Amino acid sequence: MISIRLKAQRHMLMAGFAFNLLLIVIFLISEYLLLHGGLLFKELHLGLLILLLFSLFTNMALRNLYIKTSSLEVFFLFLFLLSLTLESLRGLAALPHSLNAPLYIRNILSRSVYWGRVFGLLCLFTSSLYGVGLKYSNHSALVITLLFISLVLGSILPLDITAIQGELLYKLGDRKGYMFLSYTLGLLLIINFLAAAFIRSSKRFLIIALAGLLLLVGRELVFLSLQPLFFLPGLVLLVLGILIFSRQIGLFYLWV
């Protein structure tokens, strides 16, 4: 009989899948509006659509792996990938200009993207904590806590509304503080996976640490620019990171 905890987590996975589909629909509608509004960012928007579809299909695959293993490392990896869907809001950031909508909408969209990035980092970091043996079992409360922390940080990040970055967002007013947070969490999660190799006596976590690094670098490249020079290598690193991470976790828990 499936425990209440597992049922709740599976409901969250299904909700994430539905949210991903919803963002794809919103993205396609916004693309239609932008095209008819005279703004043509076809190259940028194609990259965002690819990112949405990538998140959708990889989350479907991870859901099956999670059902087989009940691995919390996989569960929080799923949430990390779900946070990638918020990157699509970068395309919607062009709507206020195209449709003469209030500019504060771009402010909200920009903060939502940064919030999603912080949430994704926290989820990947939490995945590494379970890798080293974290025993906290109230996962719903933990996810809510991560959401709250991300929302707070996303709300207090200063934005320079006079400058637009290449990814169609308002520029960060305190980029150093944001990068410090990102690099610190990234370094800690790599250290956690390396420590897990010794704590759990499995060299597979050394490979998972490498996968975590690929995911971090891949996301940074995708965020840096959706031009092919940066986006395509970033997407390749994300794919490799997901394949290596999920494969090694599957081998560790299922011995297949």
Q: What does the pLDDT look like over 31-43, one tens digit per residue?
A: 676 666 555 444 4
What is the model's pTM?
0.84
Rounded Cα distance, 218 and 168, in Å: 19
Split into its structural domains, the chain has a count of 1
Q: CATH no. for residue 186?
A: 1.20.1070
Residue 49's pLDDT band, with cuts at 50, 70 and 90, is confident
Q: What does the pLDDT look like over 222-249, one tens digit per residue?
A: 887 777 788 889 889 999 999 999 889 8
Rounded Cα distance, 34 and 13, in Å: 31
Domain span at 72: 4-254
What does the pLDDT read at residue 40? 46
